[in-house]
Structure 1
Amino acid sequence: MKNLFVTVLTVLTLLMPSCQSKAQSDATTETVPQNDGKNVVVETIMARRSIRKYHPQAVNRDTMNIVLKCGINAPSAMNVQDWEVRVVDNQEFLNGLTTIFKEKNKEMAERDKEMRNMFRNAPTVAFIAAKKDSKFSSVDCALMAENMMIAAKSMGIGSVCMAGPVEFLKGPDCADYLNKLGFSDDYELLLTIGFGYPAEEPAAKPRDESKCKFVD
C-alpha cells in the first residue's frame, strides 16, 4: 500500500507542471486575441456600404431578430435604452406609404422610374424612435442603428440609413401609417433603416483621414 501511495504521489507531482502550463496557456488564449492579420469585425465594418438597390424578398424574420438583438445591445447612456423599434416587412404598408409619397413628390417619382417604395426599395424597414425629453436618446439610437447595420452586413444583408422619410412620415397625410407603428406617446420617430438582399455592390467612397488627429 505504501508503494502504491508513493507511486501515485510521484505521478501527480510530474503532472502538476503540465497542468499549470496548460492553464496558463488557456488564460493567455482567452485574454490576448490571436493576431493572424485578420479581424472579422474590422473587415465587416470596412466592407459595409449603403445599399440602394435590393432584391424584392424581405429579410427572414429570424435573421432580423438577430439584427435587433445586436441593436439593443448597443451602449446607451446610463443603460436607460430610450429607444423603440418597429420592423415592417408588410409590402402593402410600404407600398401604401409610397403611393402617398409619389403623389406629393411627382417630379422625384417621375425621375425614379424604378421606385417600388420610398425606402430605396428595401423590402424590410426598421423605424427607430427616440424618447422626446431624453438628453442622449438620439445618440443612443444612432449607436443602435450602427450595430444593426454592421450585424446585417455580417450575415449578407444590405442596409441604408435614411433620415429623409422621417419628416414626410410626420406629416398629416401619413398620420394613419405612423399610428400603425404604435410608438409610445413620449417617443418620436428619429430615423429609418432599409434592409434587404443587395442587388448591387457599390465601391467605397473616399474618406478624409485628415479629420482624425492625435492630440499630445
Structure 2
Amino acid sequence: MPTPPAAPAALLAEVSRRYAAASPFTRHYVRLKLRSDPATAAILALAAGEGFGHVADLGCGRGQLALALLLGGAAARVTGLDGNAVHLAEARQAAAGLAAHFAVADLLAAPVPDCDTVLLVDVLYQLPEAAQMALLGRAAAAARRRIVIRAFDPGCGWRSRFGWAMEVANRALRGAGRQASIRPLPLAAIAGPLAAAGFDVTVRPCWSGTPLPNVLMLAKRTDG
C-alpha cells in the first residue's frame, strides 16, 4: 500500500497549539503522535475522502486525533471514551469550543454510543480476548457506517516478534503489567464478527517506515 499523504502541517500545528497549557510531556507526546504515528496520516486521509460524521473514539487518550478530525472538517462531532481521567482532562481542555465530548469509561463493559464511525486505535490487543470480542460486538451494533481499527497483526513474522518485544519492554518500563496482558488476536478473528454483522472488511499495512506489525482495518457497512 502506498504511504498515505501527510496531514497538512497547518492542521497539525493548529491541533498542537491547543495543548499549549498542558504539561511539557503532553505537548511533546501530542506533537510526536501527530507528526510521526502512521495511523494519524492514514486515518486523516481516509476521513478526508469519506467524512466520518459523528465519531466514537474508543480509547481516545489525550484526544489529539479526535481534534485533528474536527479541525480538519472530517468529523461533525466526537465522543471520546477512555479509562484515564488525567488524559481526558487534557483532551477536554484542548477541545474547548469544539463539538467534542470526552468521558471516563471502562472499555471492558461501557456501551458504545450510536455514531457514524467507531475508532479503535491500539485498543483491542490490550484487552482480554473475550473482552475484545465483546467490544467488537458493541462497536458493530453502534456504528452506522464504518469501524476503523489500528490492530497488532500477530501473523506478521519478524514485525510481530519485534512489536511484541517492544510492548513487553514498554510495560516493564511503566510497571504496567506482565507480558500476558498483550493479547493480539489473528486478523481473521477480528474481521469475522464484523463481517457477520454486515460489514465489508479490508486490511492494509499501517507501519510506514517503522518495524511494527500494525495494520489498518476498515469495516464498512454493506447492509444499507
Q: Give yes or no for TM over 0.5.
A: no
Q: TM-score, normalised by structure 1?
A: 0.26
More strand by share: 2
Q: TM-score, normalised by structure 2?
A: 0.25
